[in-house]
Structure 1
Amino acid sequence: MAGYFSVFLVLLTLGSGLIWLVDHLVYAPKRRERIAIAKGSSQADLDDDVIAQIAPVPAITEGAKSIFPMIAAITIFRSFIFEPFQIPSGSMMPTLLVGDFILVQKYSYGIKDPVWRTQLVEVNEPKRGDIVVFKFPLDEKVDFIKRTIGLPGDRIVYRNKRLYIKPNCAEGQEKSGEMFCAEFNAVDMDIINRDEFYQGLMPLVRLKETLPGQTHDILINPEALESKGRYYQQQDTRADEWVVPEDSYFMMGDNRDNSQDSRMWGFVPKANLVGKAVFIWMSFEFENGPDSLLPSFVPTGVRFERLGSIQ
């Protein structure tokens, strides 16, 4: 849906801009000429109503001239600077909740044209721990949001609800025969609480997970079984192990037992990156129960304490 809206904005901007340009170059000079002739042959000043009758401006031209600056500004802002997104599911809990409205920084990982998404300018690469919006590799009409766990060349293991990372060799380091120069590092986890979030009646464990240079919170359902049979199977690796290809990334949700992510469908190509989630600008509560008179999509409150930068 977001992709169609981008195309619509671009077409509306081009269409209104073209109408304004053609009028400015072709028809506006002719109107001014008619007005000048009328003023020269009249002894009295012409008021606006008379001028409008002598050289009327078509309604489509007036509309294009009025909306073009605003639509052009919106298109540039949304396509190249920031784009708003709404969090539709709980896969990124506790970091992002259903009802959070976020801003995604579009230029974080390169500037792309808004229609064909061709890379125009190279900027930065995602860092481990970045929360990224991207086009779902299996259906690029759908936008996903997950956390970057694996960078190109990393070896990732997710076993017994614990994450292990064997980073790719840093630039300038001597690479071993397996193309890796570090041992597997178990990502540190510390329990925060066990009674803040629930899945049905089952309490979820909130933990602080520490990636290199970045700390964030995750949720684990201790009763949920690992679905290794549904994991994406990469050639020449174990069922719960993946090697991130070149120009690709391994993404995971923070709600580890309730997230469809790279464990299930594989890697996110660099070309699919949309931008980095950086700010929560609004957060609504939706607590309409089955007996409520209000529809489920009507918010019941605002979580002002959630507004601010995304960690």
Structure 2
Amino acid sequence: MNLQVILGNFALILFILMVVTGVIWFLDVFYLAKQRRAAADRALADYDARNAKLTADGIKVDNQGNRAAIEAGLLRQPTWIEYSGSFFPVIALVFFLRSFLYEPFKIPSSSMVPTLLVGDLILVNKFTYGIRLPVINQKIIQINDPQRGDVMVFKYPQDMSQDYIKRVIGVPGDKITYENKRLTVNGVEVKYTALDDYLDDEHLVYNKQYTENLTGVSHRILNNEAAPTLNLEGVKQFPYSENCTYRYEGFTCVVPAGNYFMMGDNRDNSADSRYWGFVPDKNIVGKAFFVWLNLGNWRRIGTIH
């Protein structure tokens, strides 16, 4: 499922704005403000000398108001510097927060239903899986590795400009088998508990709903009984495709080192690792953990399971 950042390539835009406003702010603090102060001092000295001469000549001068106005006018920042100085700390704070702590995303499609619904506004923890340099997404500090069951945002391997969100099904070294719509991880069958059928509001149909216990992590999934287990025509070429064996009833994949196998919770309505392959560690954006708003459903606010 494709995720769209609130304003396109917002990280790069924010970085450019921060640099531009920051350069202007520092230039003003360490150079332009001093130039204005020096110019004001010279003007005030001339003004005081002229008034002193008038006073010596017996002319009464009431100059305090004029003097203050002259000083304020000469020290006033140009509009472009004033706005840059005002915006710089705000932009820098937002850039820091969304680059190293939390980043907002909006869910545009239904591949993670019932866990995430269309219109959910979510927060992604950017430091759970390590500290990464903003814009280029290069990891510089290792903290934790993704675990099976995590809901993770990552750069789509076949188009790095797109952010996707799926659930981690397999970690490096895992053998994943998906057959007749049931998962097996490292030879152990995943346990399923049937729930009431789920009404798909978008298509007005009912889907089978289960609780899937993925090696200790329980979450809900959907199955459409009318859909095939796997659409073989939709499988693309991808790195390490030799690690996978496909058949009509399903597939088996061994997750290579430094990669992860991802699937959507809406199993028959999700383009995921079954079709386009593994997610390299370098593509990881962060862990989705909270729904903070859905304008169409206010009850959606809460943690993500």
TM over 0.5: yes
Give secondary structure in 2 for the equivalent of 1:257: helix
1:252–1:236 CA distance, 2 compared to 1 (3 A): closer
Partner of 2:103: 83
2:293 and 2:16 map into 1 onto residues whose CA distance is 29
One-letter amino acid of the structure 2 residue matched with residue 119 of structure 1: K
Within 2, Cα distance between the matches of 1:83 and 1:245?
Answer: 28
Q: Which residue of 2 aligns with 1:212?
A: 215
- Change over 3 Å in CA distance of 1:33–1:201 after alignment to 2: closer
After TM superposition, give the deviation of residue 37 of structure 1 in Å: 3.4
Question: Aligned equivalents of 2:146 and 2:295: distance in 1?
Answer: 29
Aligned to 1:32: 37
Q: Distance in 2 between matches of 1:247 and 1:23?
A: 47
Kindly provide the amino acid, as one letter, of the partner of residue 252 in structure 2. Answer: E
Unaligned runs of 5+ in 2: 52-62
2:13 to 3, 8, 14: 8
Indicate yes or no: 2:162 matched with 1:142: yes
Taking the aligned partners of 2:41 and 2:100, their CA distance within structure 1 comes to 44
- 1 or 2, which has the higher helix percentage? 2
1:53 to 56, 73, 78: 73
Shift of 1:23: 1.5
What secondary structure sits across from 1:284 in the alignment?
A: coil
Contact 2:137–2:285 (CA<8 Å) still a contact in 1? Answer: no
Identity %: 42
- Of 229, 238, 243, the match for 2:245: 238
Q: Name stretches of at least 5 consecutive residues in structure 1 with no aligned partner.
A: 167-183, 286-302
CA RMSD of aligned residues (A): 1.9
Relative to 1, partners in 2 of residues 1:253 and 1:195: Cα closer, same or farther, differing over 3 Å? closer
Whole-Å Cα distance in 1 between the matches of residues 298 and 107 of structure 2?
16
Q: If the length of structure 2 is used for normalisation, what is the TM-score?
A: 0.85
Report the CA distance between 1:232 and its aligned residue. 5.5
CA deviation vs aligned residue, 1:186-227 (integer Å, no higher than 9, x gap) = 100011112533673542011000012210000001111123
Q: 1:94 & 1:202 partners in 2: Cα distance? A: 14
* Structure 1 residue 227 corresponds to structure 2 residue 230: yes
Change (3 A) 1:268 1:52: same
Q: 1:20 to 1:249 in 2, by over 3 A?
A: same
Instruction: Say if 2:270 is the partner of 1:259.
Output: yes
Of residues 117, 122, 136, the one that matches 1:97 is: 117
Q: How does 1:42-191 map onto structure 2 within 5 Å? A: 42=48, 44-45=63-64, 49-166=69-186, 184-191=187-194
**AA aligned opposite 1:116:** I
**Aligned-partner SS, 1:134:** strand
* 1:120 shift after superposition: 1.9
Counterpart-to-counterpart distance in 1, 2:110 and 2:177: 23
Question: Closer, same or farther in 2 for the Cα pair 1:195/1:224, shift >3 Å?
Answer: same
CA contact (8 A) 1:99 1:283 kept: yes
Count residues with an aligned counterpart. 277
Q: Deviations along 1:139-181, whole A, 9 cap, x unmatched?
A: 0101100000000000000000001100xxxxxxxxxxxxxxx
In 1, are the aligned partners of 2:199 and 2:205 still within 8 Å (CA)? no
Mapped to 2, the partners of 1:145 and 1:75 lie a distance apart of: 22
The 1:30–1:200 alpha-carbon spacing in structure 2 relative to 1, beyond 3 Å, is closer
Amino acid at match of 1:216: H
Shift, 1:236, TM fit? 5.7
Match of 1:272 among 255, 280, 283: 283
- Letter aligned with residue 254 of structure 1: D
CA deviation after TM superposition for structure 1 residue 95, in Å: 0.3
Whole-Å separation in 2 of the counterparts to 1:250 and 1:111: 22
CA deviation after TM superposition for structure 1 residue 50, in Å: 2.3
Larger Rg: 2
TM-score, normalised to structure 1, is: 0.84
1:293 counterpart residue number: none
1:198–1:204 contact (8 Å) kept in structure 2: no
Would you say 1:307 and 2:301 are equivalent positions?
yes
Query: 8 Å contact 2:44–2:71 — kept in the other structure?
Result: no
Matched letter for residue 263 of structure 1: R
Bigger drift between 35-44 and 78-87 goes to: 35-44
Mapped partners of 2:68, 2:295: distance in 1:
49
**SS of residue paired to 1:107:** coil
Shift in Å, 1:228: 4.5
- Determine if contact 1:232/1:263 at 8 Å carries over to the other structure: no
Partner amino acid, structure 1, of 2:22: G
Is the 1:95–1:254 contact (alpha carbons within 8 Å) kept by the matching residues of 2?
Answer: yes
Between 1 and 2, higher relative CO (CA 8 Å, sep ≥ 6) is seen in: 2
My pick for the range that moved more, 81-90 or 39-48, is 39-48
- Between 1:225-234 and 1:82-91, the stretch displaced more is 225-234
